[in-house]
Structure 1
Amino acid sequence: MSVIILDRVVKTYPNGTRAVKDIDLAIEPGHFTVILGPSGAGKSTLLRLMNGLEKPSEGTVSVHDTVLGKKNLRAIRREVGMVFQQFNLVGRLNVMTNVLTGRLAYRSWLGSVLHLFREEDFRIAQAALARVDLTEKAWVRADQLSGGQQQRVGIARALAQRPRVILADEPVASLDPLTSREVLDLLKGICQDDHIPVVANLHQVDYAREYADRVIGVNSGRVVFDGSPDQLTDAMVDELYQRAAPVKEPLHEASTLAHA
């Protein structure tokens, strides 16, 4: 059974820009899937459609055979962990509290507003921090961490949701090469060892070839390549990255609580 299915999905913004153009796509379990393409290709919009942060103008998005809609959006979103390029942490709060925000979707509206967490939530958050090797940083302010550590907190927050899939939007774009590999190693390990499929937007072809089980190439809002890294030839990369009119995607990222 596919984890996420996009069926003839189109996304058109109010200014008339068509960011995603009639895409049919199925994300399979057990895979580290990389969505690859140039800036403005529509990658971020595609990822946001997968967890309901964007609503398709046409077509449907299904998560575990359930079509995303207003009535089930909260319930389905908590099964989809999200890792952001700019980490989306609350810097003045400690690491533990940031990770605990991944549990908000499991609490009542009032509990979410008041950040009322249970003992079970703390156990889950502690396990998530241990998974990303940050147990000793639990009570440190998030803004005192390095960029790589902050991204690992973001991954721990996603794990605290107990997700069935993790989406990562340019998770290493703000990191140096060594730290980027550490983060990608962690995400790949979560996919292989924790059996949580990962879908990651990346710019870097080398990383896609090294880490991906499957590469989906996107340009101008369309899928132009879908195959294994071995099939991603230099000629295909040149075609994928040919200059095209960029998609004007939103510059904002969802807040930490927006997907809870």
Structure 2
Amino acid sequence: MDVSGCTCPSDFPSPPSNLVCKGNSMDCPITCNQSPPSPLVPRAQLSQCGSGCVNANFRCNGCYIWFSSLCRCLRDFQAGSQTNCVASPVIPPGSPKPGQPASWVLLRTGDLITTTQLIPGILQLDTATDIDGGFRLGQDTLKNKGIRSTGTLAMNSVTTRSEEQIHIHVCDWPNSPLRDIIDGLDVNKYQTSQSVPLGALHKANAAVNCRVSPNTGVDVNMSRDIVNWLKQYQGSNDCAQYNVGAGVITDSRDLSWSCIVTGERAAENLFCP
């Protein structure tokens, strides 16, 4: 977390949507158990595969969040500068103290949340010091922006994400067709995670299982549901785990829903405009 003596990297390929690296750049295929064998290929190329945003990947667009966006937030915090970044727990001005806990950080743009821990993505969420901190900060952000009723959160799967550092998308979608579907569900049938019919969305290869919060106006523990869902893949190399994403949405009854995305669609594609 101590970047007080650092210059945040700025030498990335242009445009940022081109998910390659300056210098050595390669695909990072994943071999998993499916028949016939067909490696899954994540969107972002890296200089070094299999480790997330280690130093070897500092000039890769797939690590822009870690090396540029988060680095600049940490510089702001440590310098005591005015910033749009928000950290939870708060990062005090000056260099971090020994033993200071990791923080989840809402980045300057206000539409992405990541953590100061090096965590590639959703499959490693259970290694976070505060597993639920990111989605808690996300739901707090929606409230603080006054968009709890129209906002959404989304975390993409391994195969659909563009960044190799765990992050949550913070979105505002008043006319979400997914919210229209959830508004029509019987909450008594969704006290535990159950499949949501998505026919009206007309999105191929989309599948979502959701659980409703027990009371109106309260947060839902999304991370608990992610970690519990992923337990079924422990000890295996089931290809299905690489398509697991997640989303949070609040319906017109002010009930929040924790949703696991299991199809080939990105969670961002279902929960954000």
Is this a same-fold pair by TM over 0.5? no
Greater share of helix: 1
**Structure (1 or 2) with the larger CA radius of gyration:** 2
Higher relative contact order structure (alpha carbons within 8 Å, sequence separation ≥ 6) = 1
Greater share of strand: 1
